[in-house]
Amino acid sequence: MAISWLVFASFFFYGWWNAAYIFLLLGSILFNYAAGILLSENQGKRILIAGVAANLGLLGYFKYSNFFIDNINALVGSDIIFNQVVLPLAISFFTFQQITYLVDSYQGESREYSFLHYCLFVTFFPQLIAGPIVHHREMLPQFAKETLYKLKPENLLVGGTTFIIGLFKKVVIADGMAAYASPVFQTAELSTSLTFFEAWGGALAYTFQLYFDFSGYSDMAIGVGRMFGIILPANFFSPYKATSIIEFWRRWHMTLSRFFRDYLYIPMGGNRNGNLGSMRNLFMTMLLGGLWHGASWTFVIWGGFHGIGLIVNHGFRSVRRSLGHDLLKRNVFGKVASWALTFLFIVIAWAVFRAESISGVLNMLQAMMGLNGLIFPEIIDYQLYAVLLVLFLIVCYMPSTQEFLSEYQPSLNIYGGQVEPSRLLWIFQFKPGSFVHTLFILMMVCMIFLTMQSDQPSEFLYYDF
């Protein structure tokens, strides 16, 4: 009964946006459920290819048909008319999730007999819209527990706390930074009049907006899931603390990185074909990863930019390894320099990611490089710089939500790397019933309600994804 209610609630949640697309979601579920059963019994490669092709075809039609038609018209001067296709919400997430199920079924790692369990695996509303992208083998054992759907005080406490922290990040911090970032990028689309300081202020504002927006969505998904007793995989682990581009991608959108590694990079050959083959596969994976984020050349350029960064990073590591250096042992200066270079790369890449056109990219980069002049502005937005400094200190030194609640396993750990815990963790470790922590959460709730009562707009950054 409980699982039926969750499935119904998930479909209702999705249909609230556009009821017509419930049938698209249901059709995708029925097709992949049937294909998964056939693969479990037969393990036919043709069934796998047909299933994956059907999923990618559906995604390609809704997400990229207008993009390709527009580019063909621009390239050959044609005037092909194509009806504007409305992008169904979360189609990338539920498509990729079902591709993992088909591949795992083909490899004998997943087997599903309950249609309701499969529906919940695909549609579970906390993670349907913005991830994380979960594996069937991670969720099915949890769905099968008889005690799963009984409300428990610990689950409500840990899940509710995680959700409130995530909502605070999204509503108060991320949406607050949008007010600084959006005007700068709008100006970049219209003219080249941006100054050096305006461009960097806007780029940094968007860097933190996206950080707290995605971190907030991830926390909210994990929090709501935990309230129902379901532990979702971590999707975000303090990525701005990374000291390399490789480490950044192990910390940022972790389940998407895992998907591209396991279902794209490795099947293309991974690092099995020598250095050149590895670099080619890595670059192509990041190009396709950029295109996954949206039907725009700016996303492709962003993906290529990160692909080049990863290739250089791996090459540098190979050189150090050949010289006998221990990659885990670096002095303080080396760590700081590595972090600074990585963060600078990330900020510049986010400027490309946020721009709406190639001209917008060029205008932003031109201003950020000082080609419009380095004259110090007469009017300085001290408020912006003060907020940026505070957010900088938070992302670099404060413990993550997962560290804050680490004693209660708020999420499945898929990081797999060595990480130094926050030095402030002993202060901020979650203690249920603590006056300080209770006051801390209540202050967050008050600020959330005050912000939501204001006229501050809220952007849903993941609609295009």
Active-site amino acid positions? 293
User: Residue 138 CB: number of other CB atoms within 10 A?
Assistant: 17
The amino acid at residue 376 is F
User: Structure tokens of 261?
Assistant: 């590694």
Q: List the one residue out of 253, 239, 246 whose CA is nearest residue 400.
A: 239
* Nearest-angstrom CA–CA distance, 7 and 1: 10
Q: What is the residue type of 3?
A: I
Looking up tokens 């100006």 gives 187
- Exposed/middle/buried for residue 86 (C-beta within 10 Å: 0-12, 13-18, 19+): exposed
Both structure tokens of 97: 């999730």
Q: CA geometry: angle at 264 spanning 259 and 270, to 5°?
A: 115
Q: Three-state DSSP class for 236?
A: strand
Element (H, E) at 152: none
Q: H or E segment at 170? A: none
How far is it, in rounded angstroms, from Cα 451 to Cα 424? 28
Q: Closest Cα to residue 295, out of 23, 85, 47?
A: 85
In degrees to the nearest 10, what's the CA dihedral of 94, 95, 101, 102? 160
Residue 15 CA to residue 12 CA, distance in Å, equals: 5
